[in-house]
């Protein structure tokens, strides 16, 4: 057996392709192993359109980066023919070791994609010894292809939320299938509001979904989302996630605190203490701040106490009891904030809650667990870290899909 045969075997080459020769270039650093692939003279090749065996029209020399051979970079070079099919004319054939247009072999891309599922793209690029720009191109290709194949024919309920790919701008809206426990993301698009919901409906219909099958939509209390889902998904019941109710009041506390801190000295650590949604995980300083707040008559403390009362509603075991608690909460809290301009943010939050009362109460009837939407935040954090060094809306969306969408085997061709 010749050494070229070993490479032929290792690459899984089949006739008419075989390794013609190999050369180790020691002038390069790292050293480069170059394998030359050739087909037998006079071979015929399948037309890429119809598969009919045709003679070669002409040849072009192409080179692909392959998996390292030990510590050496490895390249394949081949003269790739164009067939001259009587029905389809002159076409470049597909080679079995690389996809069209790529400068990498399939095995190289497969290894890279395996790494990218486990670590930031930048780290994977370092291991594969290519630039992260080139690796991103590969990642985009496979993720887009997998997204195109997604099947949404069974979709019955979805949730949506928006986030910023960078602090404060470049919004991205993400849709999840509420029936999927893992990898729930089914769509992600730049922008927010009505346009995003419309785009999702088109995407869903292009992927086998039916508007008539959608029985529930879970979202926050933004006017744009509510109006758009009502219009695009008229048969679905709208539910507001409890997580968004807590978030609404947490933002109100923060506004009250910011204003009040201009005039009064607040206990140290107040800021983070009140932003946390529960006592769990409070530092000693934060706990101390809460205790001082509770004993004070500061407006921040009043706002905080109101948010804490939400727990009482959330603890209701039936729809009837939740309804009763919600009404009492709203009336009681309104009295507390009435006539106090510092508590206007809380008054506004109460109005919003009252306006969406039925949608919030919907969670006591919902078939879907409530904690699903909360997972968005940790997903977005993971995405930001994986796309670091190269973050824009496009890479952000690709990474959301890669981490959290049911994409299956990315590199497999069918």
Binding residues vs Zn ion (CB under 5 A): 47, 49-50, 52, 85, 87-88
Q: How far is the CB of 56 from Zn ion (least distance, A)?
A: 14
Task: Enter the tokens of residue 18.
Answer: 């075989």
Q: How far is the CB of 50 from Zn ion (least distance, A)?
A: 3
Task: Enter the tokens of residue 100.
Answer: 């069209």
Residue from 382, 379, 400, 385 nearest 122 by CA: 385
Q: How far is the CB of 100 from Zn ion (least distance, A)?
A: 16
Nearest CB to Zn ion, comparing residues 28 and 49: 49
Nearest CB to Zn ion, comparing residues 49 and 258: 49
Site of tokens 């048969």: 235
Q: How far is the CB of 413 from Zn ion (least distance, A)?
A: 20
Cα distance between residue 293 and residue 163, in whole Å: 31
Nearest CB to Zn ion, comparing residues 50 and 291: 50
Residue from 272, 268, 410, 254 nearest 346 by CA: 254
Nearest CB to Zn ion, comparing residues 29 and 87: 87
User: Rounded to the nearest 10 degrees, what angle do helices 319-337 and 299-314 cross at?
Assistant: 170
Cα distance between residue 189 and residue 131, in whole Å: 26
User: Rounded to the nearest 10 degrees, what angle do helices 299-314 and 242-261 cross at?
Assistant: 170
Nearest CB to Zn ion, comparing residues 6 and 50: 50
Work out the angle at residue 204's Cα, subtended by the Cα atoms of residues 231 and 414, and round it to the nearest 5 degrees.
175
Nearest CB to Zn ion, comparing residues 49 and 365: 49
> Cβ–Cβ contacts within 10 Å for residue 86, how many?
9
Nearest CB to Zn ion, comparing residues 55 and 268: 55
User: Rounded to the nearest 10 degrees, what angle do helices 121-128 and 132-148 cross at?
Assistant: 120
Q: How far is the CB of 41 from Zn ion (least distance, A)?
A: 22
Q: How far is the CB of 85 from Zn ion (least distance, A)?
A: 3
Q: How far is the CB of 91 from Zn ion (least distance, A)?
A: 7
Read out DSSP for 287-318? HHHHHHHHHS--HHHHHHHHHHHHHHHHT-SS
Q: Which residues, in sequence order, are CB contacts of 367 under 8 Å at separation 6+?
A: 157, 216
Burial (Cβ within 10 Å: 0-12, 13-18, ≥19) of residue 51: exposed
Q: What is the dihedral of CA 205, 206, 209, 211, to 10 degrees?
A: 0
Q: How far is the CB of 82 from Zn ion (least distance, A)?
A: 12
Task: Enter the tokens of residue 382.
Answer: 């993971």
Q: How far is the CB of 414 from Zn ion (least distance, A)?
A: 20
Nearest CB to Zn ion, comparing residues 47 and 146: 47
Nearest CB to Zn ion, comparing residues 47 and 290: 47
Spatial contact of 389 and 122, defined as CB atoms under 8 Å apart = yes
Cα distance between residue 221 and residue 345, in whole Å: 16
């Amino acid at each position: 057996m010749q050494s070229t045969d070993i490479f032929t075997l290792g690459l899984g080459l089949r006739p008419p392709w075989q390794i013609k020769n190999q050369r180790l270039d020691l002038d390069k650093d790292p050293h480069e192993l170059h394998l030359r692939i050739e087909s037998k003279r006079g071979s015929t090749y399948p037309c890429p359109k119809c598969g009919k065996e045709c003679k070669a029209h002409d040849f072009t020399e192409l080179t692909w980066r392959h998996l390292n051979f030990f510590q050496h970079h490895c390249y394949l070079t081949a003269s790739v023919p164009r067939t001259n099919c009587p029905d389809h004319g002159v076409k470049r054939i597909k080679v079995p070791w690389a996809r069209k247009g790529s400068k990498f072999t399939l095995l190289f891309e497969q290894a890279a994609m395996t790494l990218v599922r486990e670590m930031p793209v930048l780290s994977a690029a370092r291991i594969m010894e290519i630039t992260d720009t080139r690796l991103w191109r590969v990642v985009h290709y496979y993720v887009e292809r997998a997204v195109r194949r997604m099947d949404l024919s069974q979709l019955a309920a979805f949730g949506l939320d928006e986030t910023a790919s960078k602090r404060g701008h470049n919004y991205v809206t993400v849709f999840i299938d509420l029936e999927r426990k893992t990898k729930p993301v089914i769509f992600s698009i730049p922008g927010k509001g009505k346009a995003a919901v419309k785009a999702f409906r088109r995407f869903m219909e292009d992927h086998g979904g039916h508007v008539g099958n959608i029985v529930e939509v879970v979202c926050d209390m933004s006017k744009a989302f509510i109006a758009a889902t009502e219009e695009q998904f008229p048969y679905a019941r709208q539910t507001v996630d409890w997580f968004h109710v807590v978030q609404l009041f947490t933002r109100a506390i923060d506004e009250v605190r910011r204003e009040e801190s201009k005039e009064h000295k607040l206990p140290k650590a107040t800021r983070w203490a009140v932003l946390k949604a529960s006592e769990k995980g409070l530092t000693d300083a934060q706990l101390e701040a809460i205790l001082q707040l509770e004993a004070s008559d500061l407006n921040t403390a009043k706002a905080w106490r109101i948010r804490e009362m939400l727990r009482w509603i959330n603890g209701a075991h039936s729809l009837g009891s939740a309804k009763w608690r919600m009404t009492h909460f709203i009336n009681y809290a309104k009295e507390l904030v009435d006539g106090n301009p510092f508590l206007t943010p809380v008054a506004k939050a109460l109005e919003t809650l009252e306006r969406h009362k039925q949608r919030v109460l919907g969670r006591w009837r919902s078939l879907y667990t409530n904690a699903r939407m909360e997972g968005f935040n940790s997903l977005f954090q993971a995405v930001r870290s994986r796309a670091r060094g190269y973050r824009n809306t496009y890479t952000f969306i690709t990474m959301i899909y890669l981490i959290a969408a049911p994409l299956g085997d990315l590199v497999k061709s069918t």
